[in-house]
Amino acid sequence: MIIVTGGAGFIGSAVVWGLNARGREDILIVDRLGQGEKWRNLVGLRYAEFMHAGRFPEALAQGGFDTQEIEAVIHMGACSSTTERDADYLMHNNFAYTRALAEYCLAREIRFIYASSAATYGNGEHGYGDDAATSRRLRPLNIYGYSKQAFDLYALARGWDRRMVGLKFFNVFGPNEYHKGDMQSVVYKAWQALRAGEAFRLFRSHRADFADGEQKRDFVWIKDVVRVILFFLDNRNTQGIYNVGSGRAASFNELLRALFGALHMEKQIEYIDMPEHLRARYQYFTEADITRLRNAGYTAPFTPLDEAITEYAREYLGGEAYLCNREC
């Protein structure tokens, strides 16, 4: 059995999709569905059981699983909102919950793969290397990034990084993200605006060294992310904390040009002032250093940005924007 926490969410449901493509259905999905539309990500997926995330730690503690049957725990469940202000909530969900699962898995030699974040890099003053020395110098700009950094540092301090895998996701986009509200990708938000006949709004730059819309991110296609996760599932002797990005930064203007091109539309961008409360915590540039990922043996190419956006726009956004609309 493979356990996927956050298995109804964006990345988690895509992991289940990837496992299904391999013929795996012996999957326990752990998540909270609430009153939103996240449940739609489960439509068409094949899995053995669903468990509410609130019950999962108790079930582990009470011996509710035959640990000999658990092949791996892929822990994608967390609060992923970079604007969440409740520090106690974030530390419970992103630090304490992850620590409890890690302790359980390590004590039983169960493969453990967890989601960290590029938000740990702060404003990038120490670069984007995923080595341990760099990780210890990082200064996140928001409590979300800190909650992820806290567990990375906890794992490094105990040598856990030599016994499991952490993945620092950069700006992931693709089908199954429609439920994420303000955390939806720029691609998805722009498509929604264009569908409504509106220009898409980008933040003006408030730094002299960046023109409006030339702020850059490492945008990475969800299917590439799934391939990386499954690589670490297959290669059980490969451990550590790794960046998961394309390795190439692209501006928001470039991203939107690719979207307009895929949709055969004219450029429709409006630049607006960034809210004051975001300016001190805004990342102007991110780019994953994927040297260690390559050295670990992951050799698959990352999908070029324009190709990924074209696939997203033409194959998914024209209908229900989730993976199983076409492929499950």
Residues annotated as catalytic are 144, 180
Query: 310 phi and psi, to 5 degrees?
Result: -65, -45
Contact (CB, 8 A) for 65 and 120: no
User: What is 234-275 written as a DSSP string?
Assistant: H-TT--EEEEES-S--EEHHHHHHHHHHHHT----EEEEPPP
Instruction: Please list, in sequence order, all residues whose beta carbon lies within 8 angstroms of the beta carbon of residue 158, skipping any fewer than 6 positions away.
Output: none
Q: Kindly list the distances between the CA atom of residue 287 and the CA atoms of 61, 78, 114, 202, 245, in Å, as whole numbers in the listed order.
A: 39, 23, 20, 20, 7
Rounded Cα gap, residues 242 and 107, in angstroms: 22
The contacts of residue 299 (CB under 8 Å, 6+ apart) are: none
CB 167 within 8 A of CB 306: no
Amino acid identity of 165? V
Report the sign of the C-alpha dihedral through residues 280, 281, 286, 290, in that order.
positive
Planar angle of CA 224, 220, 197, nearest 5 degrees: 120
